[in-house]
Amino acid sequence: MKRADQSLSDQAFCTHLNQRIDKLMSLAVYVSRNASTEGCFTRPLLADLLSESSKIEELLDTYGVKNNRHWFPLRQAVAPIKLFSRVGYILIHILRFLPDYQLLPITEDFPKATGKALSFTCSILIESATTLIRQAKKLGIHVPESAPPMEEFGDELLNGHLAGDRRRQEIASPEETVVYLATAFLNLAEQSTFLHAVQNQQVDNYADWIPDPISEERLRNLEEMFHNLQSLYDTHISNSNVETLDDHLPVLRGHITVIYHLLETATAFAHYCERHVLSFAPYPRPELRSLIDPNKLLDVLINYSVAFASRYISRTRSLCHDMLRRYAIQGRITVAAPRYRGFHVRPSTLVAKIVSHYGSEVQMKLGGETYNAGVTLDLFRANEKINAGKKRWLRSEVHKLGLDCGPGDSRDASGEQSPEETAECMINMAHSAIQSLFVQNKLMLYERNLPLDEIKPLPDESVNEYITRALIQLLTMGKIDVVMDINVTFSGDQRVLRDIKLLAESGYGEDDYGNNLPLPDKLSYLRR
């Protein structure tokens, strides 16, 4: 075993490396000679390229090649072979198994786009193999004269499948399993919203997308989560009676798999962009910049990997919504209406977003009126009834206070008080009414100095009439609010109702003064 602080000569390292790199060099020669041959790149070839380049890259790193000026170009030549052989394998895998995925139709031609992405990836491997051979000759590494025969990398498959005669596992509650999986996909779809940016915006330079919103880190995290979702399916549903009960499940599994593979390619492309192309590295790497056209690399990242992942996530959301509607268990809950200004923008938007997240139909009822809980503007209408109730309450409460300006009431013609004095008295009475109701915790005040002086009494208006009108006007202006316990009833899918109930218990995300309140972790999808 070599010592970490022991100096190693170039000649000794070259001799050692020649004992290990022969297989990779043989593959590089094969690629350079057969690049123009149809069927050159097969899964067996790409698997060998990935395996051998991984071994050599690890060997080079073991000896500190990254920090050695003489040997570092070889490390640069090996890295893209490792990365893009894996991408090429994934793309061929997608093309080979497209019929099994049962993909739902989209406007764009996915097989054609995948073929173009594969051609681009193969072109990089051809350039990389040529570069590796050139660097090897410079360093005195042996380059084989011959290459393996093409037959060694054949990838022909037999028609048909073996008999599926394994005993299927029996799942007691298939409905719960389907609902759980579809819901898990919808939750994951909410974490994928950054992918949709390429669908909704146009930029002059795709490099502007890197690293925000598209970054290797975000793509890798999302890739792992879709991989976990695929594993969840294979663990609990594959080879079970559930797959025979719902034809949508294999379709869902196919979409999860395709999205996962697309994110694998996106992660690899983004890694190469960030590490080697877009100058995020602390030092320039001219050899790699000349190897790959940055614009072509960014194009395949944005317009293939990210764009098609986004499209299939959106398409699969609709599939999950359909599945959940078929398995929905209906229920009903009664919860408090939002205390701060009723169903204004924030609570209405959050409720509608919950309904949209699950794709189910949910209704809200208030005072005999029915509202579509999935439509924000329809929930706004509930405020008309809520505010009408508050206005009736104000009239009643003001009447109970029995405030009076004595003989100077504007309806009294005795003339003992001037109109100005009567108006001043009525405004003072309005202040007293507000203070009294506030002390009783019946009113919320959103401003310290209420503009009552701007609300003048009308001729022949009684004190009660003026106070009621003034308070209603302040209510309409959003200066005050009535503290009332108003309940609403939601009916529909129980899963949706559970989240709406949790939202209501959390104050619909705001306190009595409209300030933000944190939402529970279970409602984290509402934060996006």
> Do residues 146 and 254 share a domain?
no
Residues 6+ apart with CB under 8 A from 475: 387, 390, 391, 394, 481, 482
Burial group, residue 182, by CB count within 10 angstroms (0-12, 13-18, 19+): buried
Peptide bond into 213 cis (omega under 30): yes
> Do residues 222 and 137 share a domain?
no
> Do residues 241 and 285 share a domain?
yes
Domain edge (last residue) among 288, 308, 327: 327
The pLDDT value recorded for residue 235 is: 83
What is the three-class DSSP state of 374? coil
Domain edge (last residue) among 269, 302, 327: 327
> Do residues 315 and 406 share a domain?
no
CA distance linking residue 396 with residue 389, whole number of Å: 11
Long-range contacts of 92-99 (CB under 8 A, 24+ apart): 92/41, 92/42, 92/43, 92/46, 92/118, 93/43, 93/261, 94/258, 94/261, 94/262, 96/43, 96/157
Q: How many domains does the chain have?
A: 3
Q: What are phi and psi of 98, to 5 degrees?
A: -55, -45
pLDDT over 50 (residue 508): yes
Percent with pLDDT over 70 in the chain = 92
Helices (H), 10-169: 10-18, 22-34, 43-62, 72-96, 98-101, 110-139
Q: Is the dihedral of CA 95, 97, 100, 104 positive or negative?
A: negative
Calculate the alpha carbon distances from 190 to 183, 217, 250, 301 in Å. 11, 17, 22, 21
Whether 422 is in a domain gets the answer yes
Q: Which residue has the higher pLDDT, 280 or 400?
A: 400
Whether 155 is in a domain gets the answer no
- Amino acid identity of 72? F
The pLDDT value recorded for residue 377 is: 94
Could you report the per-residue pLDDT of 407-423, keeping only the tens digit for each? 544 444 455 667 888 88
CA distance linking residue 3 with residue 10, whole number of Å: 16
| C-alpha closest to that of 205 among 119, 277, 117, 116 | 277
Q: Which residues of 332-361 are buried (b: 16+ CB within 10 A; e: fewer)?
A: ebebebbbbbbbbebbbbbbbbbbbbbbbe
For residue 77, what are its two tokens?
């030549």
The pLDDT value recorded for residue 293 is: 84
Could you report the per-residue pLDDT of 244-282, keeping only the tens digit for each? 778 888 999 999 999 999 999 999 999 998 887 775 444
> Of 64-78, 191-205, 277-291, where does the model show the most confidence?
64-78
| C-alpha closest to that of 57 among 37, 80, 34 | 80
pLDDT band for position 485 (50/70/90)?
confident
Domain edge (last residue) among 150, 184, 218: 150
Domain that holds residue 81: 9-150
The pLDDT value recorded for residue 287 is: 47
The pLDDT value recorded for residue 205 is: 77
pLDDT, mean over the chain: 88
Answer whether 486's CB lies under 8 Å from 337's CB: yes
pLDDT over 90 (residue 502): yes
pLDDT over 80 (residue 406): no
> Do residues 511 and 368 share a domain?
yes
Whether 201 is in a domain gets the answer yes
> Do residues 266 and 193 share a domain?
yes
CA distance linking residue 321 with residue 324, whole number of Å: 5
pLDDT over 50 (residue 68): yes
Q: Which residue has the higher pLDDT, 290 or 401?
A: 401
The pLDDT value recorded for residue 286 is: 45
Calculate the alpha carbon distances from 320 to 234, 296, 323, 407, 417 in Å. 17, 35, 5, 72, 73
Answer whether 273's CB lies under 8 Å from 298's CB: yes
Burial group, residue 159, by CB count within 10 angstroms (0-12, 13-18, 19+): exposed
CA distance linking residue 295 with residue 205, whole number of Å: 9
Whether 167 is in a domain gets the answer no
Residues 6+ apart with CB under 8 A from 402: none
Could you report the per-residue pLDDT of 341-386, keeping only the tens digit for each? 889 999 999 999 999 999 888 999 998 899 999 999 999 999 999 9
Whether 163 is in a domain gets the answer no
Per-residue pLDDT, averaged over 140-153, amounts to: 90
> Do residues 347 and 479 share a domain?
yes
Q: Taking every pair of C-alpha atoms in the chain, what is the biggest distance, in angstroms? A: 122
Mapped to the 3 state alphabet, what secondary structure does 50-63 carry? HHHHHHHHHHHHHC
Calculate the alpha carbon distances from 368 to 41, 160, 204, 385 in Å. 68, 61, 54, 10
Calculate the alpha carbon distances from 474 to 4, 120, 268, 382 in Å. 79, 66, 59, 20
Whether 350 is in a domain gets the answer yes
> Do residues 266 and 369 share a domain?
no
186, 189, 193, 197: CA torsion to nearest 10: -120
Q: What are phi and psi of 158, to 5 degrees?
A: -75, 150
CB atoms within 10 A of CB 80: 23
For residue 266, what are its two tokens?
């996106």
> Do residues 20 and 136 share a domain?
yes
Question: Which residue carries 């009447």 as its tokens?
Answer: 399
- Cα–chain center distance at 435: 48
For residue 525, what are its two tokens?
């999808």
Could you report the per-residue pLDDT of 283-331, keeping only the tens digit for each? 444 444 457 888 899 999 999 999 999 999 999 999 999 988 888 889 9
pLDDT over 90 (residue 402): no
Could you report the per-residue pLDDT of 82-138, keeping only the tens digit for each? 999 999 999 999 999 999 999 999 999 999 999 999 999 999 999 999 999 999 999
| C-alpha closest to that of 422 among 473, 469, 457 | 457
- Amino acid identity of 312? Y
> Do residues 501 and 374 share a domain?
yes
Answer whether 77's CB lies under 8 Å from 17's CB: no
Q: Which residue has the higher pLDDT, 478 or 504?
A: 504
| C-alpha closest to that of 245 among 312, 323, 318 | 323
Whether 491 is in a domain gets the answer yes
| C-alpha closest to that of 271 among 206, 195, 215, 213 | 215
> Do residues 84 and 61 share a domain?
yes
Per-residue pLDDT, averaged over 412-436, amounts to: 81
For residue 494, what are its two tokens?
């129980």
For residue 76, what are its two tokens?
């640069």
The pLDDT value recorded for residue 237 is: 83
> Do residues 312 and 372 share a domain?
no
End-to-end CA distance of the chain: 53
Whether 3 is in a domain gets the answer no
